C-alpha cells in the first residue's frame, strides 16, 4: 500500500459579479464622501450590486457553480459536497449551500455553510480539502459569495463605500501529482467580535421594531481598530506560512489577498517581501465582497497562473478570523 499523501487540488475556478456598477461618483450623491477619499483610503473605485426582488446570495452562488460545472465539464450529479462560505445567507436556515445544490442539480451532494466573514473562503477551502485528503470524497465544490448590499446602510458613509456583491467557486479533486493545497494556518479571536458584526437578527437580538429603528440589521464596524488588527494579523500569518514551508519571496509566484483595503494588502506584501507585480488586486472594481474576494481574484487572474506556481492566499475578517493558505497551482490554461 502506498503511503503517499492524498492532496486536494483546485481543478477549476469560476466567478460571478452582478451587472450593476455602483461607482464612487454615485456614492457621492448618497453620502458626504468623495472619490478622492475612497481611493486614497481604500483603493476602491466601484463595486457591483445585485438588484431586484428575491435575489439572495444563492443567486450569486448558482451562477458561479453553473459556470464552474460547464467549464470543467462536470456532471452536477458527480458532486459529493458543496461548502458555501458566506455571512449573508439567503436565510439563517436552510443553508445557502443546499439552495445552490438544488438549483444546479447536484442531487447526490450534501452541503453546509461556513461563517467566517472575510476569511470564509480560506476556512472553507481548507475544510473542503480535508474531505479529499481523507479519500472519502472525489469532487468538492467550495463557494465564497456574499450579497453585502443586503446588510449595508447606504446613509452610513463609513461602511457603504467599502462593500460590494459577488462570489466565486472552485472545484476540488484529488491531485494527480505534487501540486495542490500544501498547507494552511487558521486563527480566530472572539474577543474582537463586537468590533465588526451584525448586531441583530440572530438569537441574541431577534428582529424587532427596536432593532430596526436602531439600524442593527446593518453591518457595524469600528473601522480604524479593525484596520490595526487586520494589518498586523494578515501580515503575520502570511509570513508565518512562508517560514513554515521554507519559502522565500522568490519562491512565491503570487499573493492572493482578501480585498478589504489596499493599504492592508500593501502591508502584507511588504512583510512577505513580494513586489507589486506579484500581488493580485481587483479591489478597485469590486470592493470588499467578503467571502467572494479570493475566489473572484483567482478567477480574474486564472490565465496568468502556470502549473506549479506557488500561491499564498491570505485574509482577515470579522470574528475576528484570519488565515493563510499555501497552494501549488495545478493546471495550465
Cross-strand bridge partners of residue 48: 21
CA-CA distance, 269 to 287, in Å (whole number)? 19
Closest distance between ligand ACO and the C-beta of residue 79, in Å?
Answer: 28
Binding mask of the shown chain, residues 117 to 156, with x at each position contacting ligand ACO by CB under 6 A: xx--------------------------------------
Rank residues 140 and 260 by Cβ distance to ligand ACO and give the closer one. Answer: 260
Q: Residue 116 interacts with ligand ACO (CB under 6 A)? A: no
Q: Residue 218 interacts with ligand ACO (CB under 6 A)? A: no
Using CB under 6 A as the binding rule, the residues of this chain from 155 to 174 that contact ligand ACO are 157-158, 161
Q: Residue 267 interacts with ligand ACO (CB under 6 A)? A: no
Place of cell 452562488: 61
Q: Residue 217 interacts with ligand ACO (CB under 6 A)? A: no
Q: What are phi and psi of 101, to 5 degrees?
A: -55, -45
Closest distance between ligand ACO and the C-beta of residue 291, in Å?
Answer: 9
Cross-strand bridge partners of residue 288: 163
* 197 catalytically annotated: no
DSSP states of 36-100:
HHHHHHH---EEEE--STT--HHHHHHHHHHHHHHHTT--GGG--EEEEE-SS-SSSSS-HHHHH
Binding mask of the shown chain, residues 186 to 215, with x at each position contacting ligand ACO by CB under 6 A: ----------x-------------------
Tell which residue, 187, 181, 301, has the closest CA to residue 236: 187
Cross-strand bridge partners of residue 174: 8
Q: Where are the alpha helices (DSSP H) in the chain?
A: 24-30, 35-42, 57-71, 96-104, 120-133, 157-160, 209-213, 223-244, 262-272, 283-286, 293-301
* 160 catalytically annotated: no
Using CB under 6 A as the binding rule, the residues of this chain from 20 to 59 that contact ligand ACO are 33, 37-38, 41-42
Tell which residue, 140, 170, 129, has the closest CA to residue 305: 170
Rank residues 68 and 314 by Cβ distance to ligand ACO and give the closer one. Answer: 314
Closest distance between ligand ACO and the C-beta of residue 38, in Å?
Answer: 6
Q: Choose, by CB under 6 A, the member of 8, 185, 226, 272 that binds ligand ACO.
A: 226
Contact, 153 vs 215, CB < 8 A? Answer: yes
Q: Which cell numbers in the block locate residue 72? A: 470543467
* 24 catalytically annotated: no
Catalytic residue list: 118, 258, 288
Where does this chain bind ligand ACO (CB under 6 A)? 33, 37-38, 41-42, 117-118, 157-158, 161, 196, 223-224, 226-227, 230, 260-261, 264, 288, 290, 316-318
Amino acid at each position: 500500500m502506498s503511503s503517499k499523501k492524498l492532496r486536494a487540488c483546485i481543478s477549476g475556478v469560476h466567478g460571478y459579479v452582478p451587472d450593476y456598477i455602483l461607482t464612487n461618483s454615485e456614492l457621492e450623491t448618497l453620502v458626504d464622501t468623495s472619490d478622492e477619499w475612497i481611493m486614497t483610503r481604500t483603493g476602491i473605485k466601484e463595486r457591483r450590486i445585485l438588484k431586484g426582488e428575491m435575489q439572495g446570495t444563492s443567486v450569486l452562488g448558482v451562477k458561479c457553480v453553473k459556470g464552474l460545472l460547464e467549464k470543467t465539464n462536470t456532471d452536477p450529479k458527480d458532486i459529493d459536497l458543496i461548502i458555501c462560505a458566506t455571512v449573508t445567507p439567503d436565510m439563517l436556515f436552510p443553508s445557502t449551500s443546499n439552495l445552490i445544490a438544488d438549483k444546479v442539480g447536484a442531487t447526490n451532494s450534501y452541503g453546509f455553510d461556513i461563517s467566517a466573514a472575510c476569511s470564509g473562503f480560506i476556512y472553507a477551502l481548507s475544510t473542503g480539502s480535508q474531505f479529499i485528503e481523507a479519500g472519502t470524497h472525489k469532487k468538492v465544490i467550495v463557494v465564497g459569495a456574499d450579497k453585502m448590499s443586503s446588510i449595508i446602510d447606504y446613509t452610513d458613509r463609513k461602511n457603504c463605500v467599502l462593500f460590494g456583491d459577488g462570489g466565486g467557486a472552485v472545484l476540488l479533486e484529488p491531485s494527480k501529482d505534487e501540486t495542490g493545497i500544501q498547507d494552511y494556518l487558521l486563527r480566530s479571536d472572539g474577543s474582537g467580535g463586537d468590533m465588526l458584526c451584525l448586531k441583530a437578527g440572530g438569537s441574541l437580538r431577534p428582529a424587532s421594531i427596536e432593532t430596526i429603528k436602531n439600524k442593527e440589521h446593518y453591518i457595524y464596524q469600528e473601522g480604524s481598530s479593525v484596520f490595526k488588527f487586520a494589518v498586523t494579523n494578515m501580515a503575520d500569518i502570511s509570513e508565518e506560512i512562508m517560514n513554515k514551508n521554507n519559502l522565500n519571496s522568490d519562491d512565491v509566484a503570487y499573493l492572493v489577498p482578501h480585498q478589504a483595503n489596499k493599504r492592508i494588502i500593501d502591508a502584507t506584501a511588504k512583510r512577505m517581501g513580494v513586489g507589486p507585480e506579484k500581488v493580485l488586486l481587483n479591489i478597485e472594481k469590486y470592493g470588499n465582497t467578503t467571502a467572494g474576494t479570493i475566489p473572484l481574484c483567482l478567477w480574474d487572474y486564472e490565465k496568468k497562473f502556470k502549473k506549479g506556481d506557488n500561491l499564498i492566499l491570505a485574509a482577515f475578517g470579522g470574528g475576528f478570523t484570519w488565515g493563510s493558505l499555501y497552494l501549488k497551482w495545478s493546471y495550465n490554461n
